[in-house]
Amino acid sequence: MNIAVLGAMWGDEGKGHITHYLSTKFGWVVRFNGGANAGHTIYRDGKKFVHNLLPSVDFRNPNVKAFLGAGMVIDPEQLLKEVIEAEREYPGVSKRIYVDPDAFVVMPEHKEIDKKTNVHIGSTHRGIGPAYADKIGRRGIRIQDIIKGKHVAGELHVDSLFHMGVNFKHTMELDKEFKNSQILFEGAQGILLDINHGIYPYVSCSDCTVGGIHASGFNVEVSRVYGVAKAYTTKVGEGPFPTELHGKAADNLRELGGEYGATTGRPRRVGWLDLPALRYACRKGGITNLIVTKFDILSGMEEVPVCTEYEKAPMCSADFFDVKPTYTNIPGWTDCNDIPQVAPMLSAIEQGSGVEVTYISCGTDAKDIHMV
Ligand code: IMP
Ligand code: MG
C-alpha cells in the first residue's frame, strides 16, 4: 500500500515527525515538491534534526530508500550538506539516496532574486519562486543538465554527491522497484500554500496536494492520503489567517508550542484551529485521513476555542480574505495520551473537516503518536 503525508494547512504541522515514524514500514520515502523552503523537524534518540531537502526518512530501517522527485527544485549545495550530515550518522547511507535528474536546480541567483522580489509574500528566500518561474518559463536548468556537463554553479556539489554514492535515476528506471515496494510520499509546505489551490498570491510555487505526486511522475495508486494538522494553527509569511491571535494570547501560544520557523527561525503567526479552512484543504488536497499533532501544547486548558464556521463557507481561495470566524469552545483535556479526554476535540475536528482522524500526536517522540 502506498500512502501520502501532506501538510493540511500552512505547513509546519509536524509532517517530518509523522513521516519519520511511519517510514519504518516503507521501502521508499519520496519528496515530490518544493525545495529547501521546507523545514522538516525530526527527533531521534533525543537529538533534533532538520531536513530541508532530504525526505524525513528513519534510516535506522535498513530497507528504506529516499527519493527526491522531479517536482522538486533542488539547491545542490544544500543537498550536499544534508547528505554529509546523514553520512556522519549512518556511514554508507548515500547509496540509499536517489535524485530524479528531471528535478530543477536552484541557482545562487534565484536566492538573490527571491530576496529582492518576494518580501511582500514573506518568502523563505530559498530561491523557490524564481527557480519555478524559470522552469515554467522553459529556461530552467535541471539536474540532468549538470550531469551532462552544462557548466553552472552547483556542478561541483552534484559531482561530490555522485562520488559519495548518491544515485541519479529517473522514475522509469526504478519502475519495477517502485511497483514491488511500498512508497510513502512526503509532501512539503501545505495545501493552503499550494500554487493552484492555496490562498493566492500568498502561496509557495509547487503542487502541495495529492496531485503533486502524479505530477512528479509516479503513476501509482495512493491508498491513503494523510493530512497533518495541528490542534491549533500556525502560519509563517503574509496573507489571510482568519483565526489569528494577537498580543499576549499569541505570545503565550507561540512560546508554549515553540513556534519558530525551522528554516528561517522566524516567529510563526499563531491562532486557533480553523475547521472551515481544514475542510477546504481536505477537499482540495485529496486528504482521506487526518493526523492531528501538538495536542500536548493545549493540555490543561479548560476549554479550547475552535473556529467552526465563517459567515460563508469558502468555495475558493479568494473566499479566505476578510472572513468572520465563529468559535465554539470544546471541553479541554489534562492528558492527551488519555484518548477519551480528547474525544470531544476529535469529534469536533471530524465533523468540521468531514474527514476521519486516524492518529494524534502528543509530543516529539515516536511513543507520543497514538492511533485513535
Ligand atoms: P517561498 O516558498 O519560500 O517562496 O515562501 C512562500 C510562502 O510560503 C511564505 O509565506 C513562506 O513562509 C511559506 N512557506 C514556504 N515553505 C514553507 C514551509 O515549509 N512551512 C511553512 N511555510 C512555508
Ligand atoms: Mg516546517
Mean pLDDT, residues 109-116 taken together: 96
Ligand 1 contact, 11 CB (< 6 A): yes
Mean pLDDT, residues 28-35 taken together: 98
Mean pLDDT, residues 103-116 taken together: 97
Per-residue pLDDT at 46 exceeds 90: no
286 falls in which pLDDT band (50, 70, 90)?
A: very high
Q: What is the per-residue pLDDT for 150?
A: 83
Per-residue pLDDT at 84 exceeds 90: yes
Q: What is the per-residue pLDDT for 200?
A: 98
Per-residue pLDDT at 356 exceeds 90: yes
Task: Report the distance separating Cα 339 and Cα 50, nearest Å.
Answer: 29
Q: What is the per-residue pLDDT for 44?
A: 87
CA 237–ligand 1 middle distance (angstroms): 7
Q: What is the pLDDT of residues 213-242, one digit of tens each?
A: 999 999 999 999 999 999 999 999 999 999
Strand 303-310 relative to strand 104-105, pairing: unpaired
Q: Looking up cell 518559463, which residue turns up?
A: 137
Task: Report the distance separating Cα 184 and Cα 21, nearest Å.
Answer: 11
Return all residues near 25 (Cβ < 8 A) that are at least 6 apart. 182
Substitution candidate for ligand 1 out of 123, 125, 208, 244 with most atoms within 8 A of CB = 123
Mean pLDDT, residues 356-361 taken together: 98
**What is the pLDDT of the chain when averaged over all its residues?**
97
Q: What is the per-residue pLDDT for 108?
A: 95
Ligand 1 contact, 39 CB (< 6 A): yes
Q: Which residues are catalytic?
A: 12, 40
Task: Report the distance separating Cα 256 and Cα 71, nearest Å.
Answer: 35
Task: Report the distance separating Cα 360 and Cα 196, nearest Å.
Answer: 28
Q: What is the per-residue pLDDT for 153?
A: 84
| Residue bearing the CA closest to ligand 1, atom 19 | 38
Q: Looking up cell 496536494, which residue turns up?
A: 209
Residues in the chain: 372
Q: Is the pTM of this model over 0.75?
A: yes
Q: What is the pLDDT of residues 141-197, one digit of tens each?
A: 999 999 998 878 889 999 999 999 999 999 999 999 999 999 999 999 999 999 999
Looking at the CA of 13, name the nearest ligand. Answer: 2
Substitution candidate for ligand 1 out of 9, 13, 17, 37 with most atoms within 8 A of CB = 37
DSSP annotation of 347: H
> 304: which strand partners?
330
Counting from 1 in the atom list of ligand 1, the atom nearest the Cα of 236 is 12
Ligand 1 contact, 241 CB (< 6 A): no
Task: Report the distance separating Cα 153 and Cα 145, nearest Å.
Answer: 12
Ligand 1 contact, 54 CB (< 6 A): no
CA 124–ligand 1 middle distance (angstroms): 6
Q: What is the per-residue pLDDT for 210?
A: 98
- Is residue 272 within 8 Å of 303, Cβ to Cβ? no
